[in-house]
């Protein structure tokens, strides 16, 4: 079972990868130094963590009476939107939306932070600087532990050179860099390491058939499930390991094997069930019910999975924004011919992708694939091994490896740099193609994230169709969109007598504090109407284009696709009652041709 060679190349790759990961989260974009929604403990990361302060500091897991104070002080999510828990109608108790597995793994680092916060002069409230820092330290520690043991796992199946290249491609060329270097408060980096340990202990078990490895497997499956319940499918890995086909003989042999070692599997099931039972105990304590579906209106659509959208959409598609993993998909060809444990690995990958793509909120992107990378990397490593043995193919593939790796580095930089081109979804294919691998583009390019139409040529003979300074409309002489006024009225504009290929609506826009959450941004909308029917609609989100306390003339372009309309409507609205006040003045509508 020992790896005989010194494996110097993969050790060097591990060191380099570790330095890159540490640099990315410590110096390039240290979330633990940021506040608000960019803090280490914010958005979903705060939800996974929420159990710890609820239990150990405020002793209020059910009542959550402290939550508004934390939201007002630290703003991990909008203060008026408590996303981490919901209130039961039956008993008034709050139920944390996320399962507790990540919090259990973070607990040792939380305890350290709690011990040092007060002596260092920080509040013992669970969200001050020491807590932010220690959650990062814990995450990066667990990441590096997983990366080291991933190297060890792959060396049992591939050469040192193949493993070194695979590690470099993983860290530099995939979204692993972002979620295991910067966003380490999310569950995915913790799950990645759990999967590494699970596959490694599965390997050991089938080499030795020792009970201690069965015990570890049971606990690891339990922890994975406690972090994210869909990860229960990880049980497929130990159940199917060492199967190389699905013939009747192979299935019969596997059933006999399970019978022979049934004591091991019973122990593993009991221990895994014991770990998972912690969540059921919490639900019973907080709600009076053993089972609670905490995601409410979000669900799985098992009979209409988003198989294509999840991978290839321009909003957040896994393979669009992590194109290097397309090579892992191609790696299934040499893996099926030369790889080991084919049934376990291929079955898990297929089932996992189906589960991920069946979630109705498919826009959350490729991060949900991250924890399965320890399994998927067997395909990528198989391809690298195949290419190395055929030099001409390696030279042919090298440009793709370099371009895809550079794309990932560019994307990660843009996602976190000041004024970066990437960021919150949604986006369009036009925006993606206009910005990919580019820097320092004009801010107006952000319009393409929402609106595929953006005229960049010189306008000749524009025709003014409509103007409104709103002086006769209200005392302020402008449109106000805020919490109290979430939308303006729809201003009707008659179709111009002479046909226009383009319509441009513009207005002077002022905001106070910038809104970064895409769902809380104010929309500037133009609708083309025939009677009461909308035949075309274009819009942009205004806060993409404005900074704090800035006033700017912003315009929205629409290429007229359906000429069968009789009027237009111009409206400003914020469906989610965003907190940013938006003031609109001097609306104009102009028509022109190419």
Structural domains of the chain, with CATH: 8-295 (no CATH), 456-592 (2.60.120.260)
pLDDT at site 590: 97
pLDDT at site 385: 97
What region does 92 belong to: left with phi over 0, alpha with psi -120 to 50, or beta? Answer: left
Q: Which two tokens stand for residue 544?
A: 């993409």
**Which of 171, 126, 128 is closest to 146 using CA atoms?**
171
User: Could you tell me if 151 and 167 are in contact, meaning their C-beta atoms sit under 8 angstroms apart?
Assistant: yes
What region does 377 belong to: left with phi over 0, alpha with psi -120 to 50, or beta? Answer: alpha
Residues 6+ apart with CB under 8 A from 6: none
Q: What's 314's DSSP letter?
A: T
- For the stretch 249-299, pLDDT in tens is 999 999 999 999 999 999 999 999 999 999 999 999 999 999 999 998 889
Q: Where are the extended beta strands (E) located within 488-562?
A: 491-494, 502-511, 523-530, 533-541, 551-559
Torsion, CA 278, CA 280, CA 283, CA 289, rounded to 10? -150
Tell me the chain's radius of gyration from C-alpha atoms: 27
Q: Residue ranges of the chain with pLDDT lower than 50?
A: none
Q: Which two tokens stand for residue 219?
A: 């606990």
pLDDT at site 297: 84
CA 275 to chain centre: 26
User: Could you tell me if 380 and 331 are in contact, meaning their C-beta atoms sit under 8 angstroms apart?
Assistant: yes
- For the stretch 71-107, pLDDT in tens is 999 999 888 889 999 999 889 999 999 999 999 999 9
**φ and ψ at 519, to 5 degrees?**
-75, -10
- Give the Cα separation of 228 and 356 in Å (integer): 12
Residue 45 host element (H or E) = helix 43-49
């Amino acid at each position: 079972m020992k790896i005989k060679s010194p494996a110097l190349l993969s050790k060097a790759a591990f060191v380099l990868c570790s330095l890159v990961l540490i640099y990315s989260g410590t110096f390039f974009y240290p979330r633990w130094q940021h506040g608000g929604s960019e803090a280490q403990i914010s958005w979903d990361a705060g939800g996974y963590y929420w159990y710890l302060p609820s239990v150990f500091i405020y002793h209020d897991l059910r009542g959550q009476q402290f939550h508004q104070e934390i939201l007002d002080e630290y703003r991990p999510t909008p203060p008026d939107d408590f996303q981490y828990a919901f209130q039961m109608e039956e008993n008034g108790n709050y139920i944390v939306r996320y399962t507790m597995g990540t919090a259990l793994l973070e607990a040792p680092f939380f305890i350290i932070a709690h011990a040092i916060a007060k002596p260092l002069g920080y509040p013992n409230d669970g969200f001050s600087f020491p807590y932010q820092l220690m959650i990062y330290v814990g995450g990066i520690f667990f990441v590096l532990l997983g990366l080291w043991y991933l190297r060890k796992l792959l060396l049992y199946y591939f050469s040192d050179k193949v493993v070194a290249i695979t590690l470099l491609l993983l860290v530099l060329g995939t979204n692993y860099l972002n979620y295991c270097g910067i966003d380490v408060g999310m569950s995915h980096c913790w799950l990645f390491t759990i999967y590494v340990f699970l596959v490694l202990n599965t390997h050991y078990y089938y080499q030795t058939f020792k009970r201690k490895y069965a015990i570890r497997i049971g606990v690891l499956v339990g922890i994975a499930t406690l972090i994210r319940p869909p990860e229960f499918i990880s049980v497929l890995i130990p159940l199917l390991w060492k199967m190389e086909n699905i013939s009747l003989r192979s299935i019969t042999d596997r059933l006999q094997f399970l019978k022979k070692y049934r004591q091991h599997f019973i122990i593993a099931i009991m221990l895994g069930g014991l770990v998972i039972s912690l969540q059921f105990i919490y639900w019973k304590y907080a709600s009076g019910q053993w089972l609670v579906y905490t995601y409410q209106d979000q669900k799985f659509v098992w009979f209409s999975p988003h198989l294509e959208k999840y991978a290839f959409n321009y909003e957040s598609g896994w393979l669009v924004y992590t194109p290097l993993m397309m090579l892992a998909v191609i790696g299934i060809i040499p893996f099926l011919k030369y790889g080991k444990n084919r049934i376990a690995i291929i079955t898990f990958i297929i089932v996992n992708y189906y589960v991920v793509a069946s979630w109705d909120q498919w826009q959350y992107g490729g991060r949900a694939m991250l924890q399965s990378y320890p399994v998927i990397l067997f395909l990528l490593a198989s391809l690298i091994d195949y290419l190395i043995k055929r030099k001409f193919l390696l030279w042919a593939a090298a440009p793709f490896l370099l371009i895809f790796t550079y794309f990932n580095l560019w994307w990660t930089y843009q996602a976190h740099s000041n004024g970066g081109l990437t960021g919150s979804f949604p986006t369009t294919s036009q925006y993606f193609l206009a910005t990919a691998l580019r820097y320092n583009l004009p801010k107006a390019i952000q319009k393409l994230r929402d609106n595929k139409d953006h005229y960049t040529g010189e306008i000749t003979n524009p025709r003014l169709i409509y103007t409104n300074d709103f002086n006769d409309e209200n005392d302020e002489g402008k449109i106000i969109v805020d919490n109290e006024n979430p939308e303006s009225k729809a201003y009707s504009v008659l179709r111009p007598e002479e046909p226009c290929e383009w319509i441009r609506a513009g207005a002077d826009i002022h905001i106070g504090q910038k809104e970064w959450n895409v769902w809380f941004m104010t929309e500037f909308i133009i609708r083309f109407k025939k009677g009461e029917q909308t035949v075309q609609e274009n819009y942009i989100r205004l806060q993409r284009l404005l900074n704090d306390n800035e006033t700017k003339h912003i315009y929205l372009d629409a290429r007229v696709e359906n000429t069968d309309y009789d009027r237009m409507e111009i409206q400003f609205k914020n469906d989610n009652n965003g907190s940013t006040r938006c003031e609109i003045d001097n609306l104009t509508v102009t028509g022109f041709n190419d």
